[in-house]
Amino acid sequence: NIPIHKLEQLVSPVPRHLQSDLRRHKCCFSASLPHQMALVSPNGEQYDSLLRQLRERMDEGCGETIYVIGMGSDGGDYGLDDVDMEASVATVQSLCEQTDSDLILLRERSEAGGLVRDYLIRRRVGDQDFLEVRVAVVGNVDAGKSTLLGVLTHGELDNGRGFARQKLFRHKHEMESGRTSSVGNDILGFDQEGQVVNKPDSHGGSLDWTKICEKSSKVITFIDLAGHEKYLKTTVFGMTGHLPDFCMLMVGSNAGIVGMTKEHLGLALALNVPVFVVVTKIDMCPANILQETLKLLQRLLKSPGCRKIPVLVQNKDDVIVTASNFSSERMCPIFQISNVTGENMDLLKMFLNLLSSKTSFREDEPAEFQIDDTYSVPGVGTVVSGTTLRGLIRLNDTMLLGPDPLGSFLPIAVKSIHRKRMPVKEVRGGQTASFALKKIKRSSIRKGMVMVSPRLSPQASWEFMAEILVLHHPTTISPRYQAMVHCGSIRQTATILTMNRDCLRTGDKASVHFRFIKTPEYLHADQRLVFREGRTKAVGTITKLLQSTNNLPSNFKPPQIKMQSTKKAPYRREDGATPANEEEASTARPDSPHQSQQPVRGRN
């Protein structure tokens, strides 16, 4: 390991102004009354003010917040003596009972004026409810993404030869090559005390998601994305369609910042997803190589394109400060871990436990759910999975499903709901779920469709305006250029009809008029989009939805039922052939493994 004094030269320590600005963060605050003694013996008016503040912060932090006792209203750590501290803790415990929450001690430190304590306040949840945070895992191929998730979720260290990652792969070719090619999901559950509840099956090593969710008050959903360049479209879809709250960028300490690392970091920044970095394989990396990797990482994060504050996390105090300021500040925590020895794994787990979801929820909003995958389950029927963007969806609700190829929305009934493989009666905004739908075929549903409340009166759009920034293009972009548009779970080719400049090159900004070439989509103004084709990459924001004068493109053809080909395969008819022989011969395919490639002959 590198000496501490050398690491401090490479990576910024936790800035003092961030340590004193905890109270400004929506998920971390202290009593902002005239003085820090307000918690010791508050009168009725002060108590009501404290309770109102706590409820506001709990709502903003989606059910949890960090409460600092001993911090003054100006952000200074004044400290309290033992008697005042106990009285303050009793007051906060009373506030927690009023809000049906638990009080968990994170750390205690001594300042010049006495003690300062940091507490995590987390709202109690029901048996079938839990807080959910989605974390996308990105990084170059062979950075250790799947291995880290295997270690975190299954509680067993890796053997250095791919033991941990085998538990996450979905396909045979992934196990053979060791490379992820599809979007994988796994969960890590924390109880009210912040302890990991994942207990793999002792026989097969698989995780029982239902048991984990029943025991958890908070569940981290990991979205395991592909690192190889040829699977970039899958990674882009995972980042846009699965709506992660945070992004975990993996960097192999022995390889450094290579390949797709910068691409994935740029994608997270373009989508405004907060990023933290995990440097892996520190057990096998020489000290000088690790030092060089950290130096390059610091330079990249401080560059004008990122403008982050890199902070090396070395102890629990650093974890609390970085987690408290992570969503609102430009801070970028850096963890150094080993999947083989388990070094610093406890710090990473503590950080994940303190992360708060960014999604706000209002029950009176019209419901909206975006579909990112479809299934056909025997005995159940058609099942769709995705993310609830807003509102509340209950069992047996009637929703509008669409748009279809003609831009229409069809009423559909929800017959069952599952969260993390656990049956529930309702889902709220920001939660992922799966719905079993009545009387609809899987073939009529595609990724990118939505289920919305009838109150929204949804309209599908063929055309839209967007402000885009071209990140890279080898030549110039002009009207009639076509590329793939990723917007939420939508993934479809669009054509540039017009733009406010003659042509676009790398680094240019413009207002562009797009038109989908296949089917209309359900869009919102202010949605983020990614525009790509080969090495061309652009990001932007939808500014306006347009009503097309011609709702169907000139080359549009309505969906048709595929008819069985009546073309006869060559055969020799002999005397005695029956009409049944003729029909069999006419449908025989010479290239089919189930058909004989010999001519059909009649009976002798």
pLDDT tens for each residue of 428-482: 988 999 999 988 999 999 999 999 999 999 999 999 999 999 998 999 999 999 9
Q: In this structure, are residues 68 and 29 in contact, taking their beta carbons and an 8 Å threshold?
A: yes
| Predicted confidence (pLDDT) at residue 127 exceeds the cutoff of 70 | no
Q: pLDDT tier at 161 (50, 70, 90 boundaries)?
A: low
Q: In this structure, are residues 485 and 492 in contact, taking their beta carbons and an 8 Å threshold?
A: yes
Q: Compute CA 518 distance to the chain's CA centroid, rounded to the nearest angstrom.
A: 27
What are 192-201's pLDDT values in tens digits? 888 999 876 6
* Closest by Cα among 128, 107, 131, 103 to 117: 107
Q: pLDDT tier at 276 (50, 70, 90 boundaries)?
A: very high
**Inter-residue long-range contacts of 194-201, CB under 8 Å, 24+ positions, other chains counted:** 194/104, 194/120, 194/350, 194/353, 196/155, 196/349, 198/153, 198/154, 198/155, 199/155, 200/154, 200/155, 200/156, 200/167
Tokens of 474: 């080898």
pTM of structure:
0.81
Give the burial class of 563: count Cβ atoms within 10 A of its Cβ; 0-12 exposed, 13-18 middle, 19 or more buried. exposed
Q: In this structure, are residues 427 and 393 in contact, taking their beta carbons and an 8 Å threshold?
A: yes
H-run or E-run covering 190: strand 184-190
Mean of the pLDDT values across residues 77-90?
Answer: 85
- What gap in Å lies between CA 107 and CA 116, rounded to an integer? 8
Q: In what order do the strands lie in the sheet with 131-139?
A: 184-190, 218-224, 131-139, 246-252, 275-280, 331-336, 309-312
Q: What is the model's pLDDT at position 199?
A: 76
Q: At what angle do helices 232-241 and 261-270 cross, to 10 degrees?
A: 30
List of domains in the chain:
31-123 (3.30.110), 131-354 (3.40.50.300), 368-456 (2.40.30.10), 463-546 (2.40.30.10), 563-604 (no CATH)
* Closest by Cα among 164, 216, 157 to 353: 216
| Predicted confidence (pLDDT) at residue 300 exceeds the cutoff of 80 | yes
Lowest mean pLDDT among 175-189, 317-331, 497-511, 519-533: 175-189
Tokens of 558: 């309505």
- In sequence order, which residues have a C-beta less than 8 Å from that of residue 336 and are 6 or more positions away? 253, 279, 282, 290, 312, 343, 344
Residue 339 has φ and ψ, to the nearest 5°, of -80, -15
- What gap in Å lies between CA 151 and CA 146, rounded to an integer? 9
Does 428 or 26 have the greater pLDDT score? 428
Q: pLDDT tier at 150 (50, 70, 90 boundaries)?
A: confident
Q: What is the model's pLDDT at position 328?
A: 60
Q: What is the model's pLDDT at position 589?
A: 39
Tokens of 604: 């002798």
- Name the 3-class secondary structure at 461: strand
Percent of the chain with pLDDT strictly greater than 70: 77
75 CB neighbour count, 10 Å cutoff? 16
Q: In this structure, are residues 135 and 248 in contact, taking their beta carbons and an 8 Å threshold?
A: yes
Q: What is the model's pLDDT at position 358?
A: 74
Q: Compute CA 380 distance to the chain's CA centroid, rounded to the nearest angstrom.
A: 27
Instruction: Calculate the average pLDDT of the chain.
Output: 81
